[in-house]
Amino acid sequence: MAVANFWGMFLIVSFMGVGLVGIPRNLLMKGKPPSFHITYIESQAPDLSYQLQDAELALIDLLHEFSSIPNRDDTLSPYYPYFKQIEAQNTEFLQLYRNRISQIHSSLLSSSRSSSPSINLDYLSDLNKRIRDAGMSLKIYAHKWHKLKLAYFFYTDIGSADSISSHSLRSTIYPYFSWSIWKKKAAFLWYIYVSPYFFRLVSYFFGIVSFIILESEVMESLHPRFSIIRLIFSFLRSNSFLLEWFFLNDQVFSIFLVSYMCISIYSSVTRLKLFGINMLYPSHNSSQRSLLSVGSQFCRLMIPLCNNFLDLAFPTTKTEFNNLMGKIDVVPIFGSWVNKWTPFIVLFPAFLAYFRVYSRIMKLFKPDLVIEYEASDLNYDSNILSDSEFDSSINPTILEGRALLREARSNLESQFARSPSHLTSPSLRARDEGRFNYLFDGGLLP
What are the DSSP calls for 71-120, one per residue?
Answer: TTT-TTSTTHHHHHHHHHHTHHHHHHTHHHHHHHHHHHHHTT---PPPP-
What is the DSSP code (8-state) at residue 343? G
Q: How far apart, in whole angstroms, are the C-alpha atoms of residue 351 and residue 210?
A: 13
Q: Where are the domains of the chain?
A: 2-378
Q: How far apart, in whole angstroms, are the C-alpha atoms of residue 4 and residue 296?
A: 12
Choice between 302 and 215, residue whose per-residue pLDDT is larger? 215
| Side-chain-side CA neighbours of residue 168 (13 Å) | 9
* pLDDT over 90, % of the chain: 23
CA angle 439, 446, 415 (to 5 degrees): 70
Report whether pLDDT(131) > 90: yes
* pLDDT over 70, % of the chain: 71
Choice between 363 and 33, residue whose per-residue pLDDT is larger? 33
The torsion angles phi and psi of 113, rounded to 5 degrees, stand at -115, 10
CA 175 vs CA 47, 69, 117, 288, 437: distances in Å:
25, 43, 47, 31, 19
Q: Which of 323, 320, 322, 340 is nearest to 332 (CA)?
A: 340
Is 369 within 8 Å of 377 (Cβ atoms)? no
Please state at what angle helix 195-222 crosses helix 228-238, rounded to 10 degrees: 100
Q: How far apart, in whole angstroms, are the C-alpha atoms of residue 23 and residue 207?
A: 8
Lowest mean pLDDT among 94-108, 229-243, 326-340: 326-340
Q: How far apart, in whole angstroms, are the C-alpha atoms of residue 331 and residue 322?
A: 16
- Average pLDDT of the chain, as a whole number: 77
Q: How far apart, in whole angstroms, are the C-alpha atoms of residue 39 and residue 30?
A: 14
pLDDT for the residue numbered 379:
44
Is 111 within 8 Å of 260 (Cβ atoms)? no
* Mean of pLDDT values over 332-347: 66
At 214-248, the pLDDT tens digits run 998 888 777 778 889 888 888 877 776 656 555 56
Is 38 within 8 Å of 372 (Cβ atoms)? no
Is residue 366 helix, strand or coil?
coil
Instruction: Output b/e per residue, 412-446; b: 16+ Cβ within 10 A.
Output: beebbeeeeeebeeeebbbbbbbbbbeebbeeeee
Choice between 231 and 341, residue whose per-residue pLDDT is larger? 231
At 140-169, the pLDDT tens digits run 888 899 899 999 999 999 998 888 777 888
pTM confidence score: 0.79
Is 41 within 8 Å of 155 (Cβ atoms)? yes
Name the strand (E) or helix (H) holding 17: helix 2-30
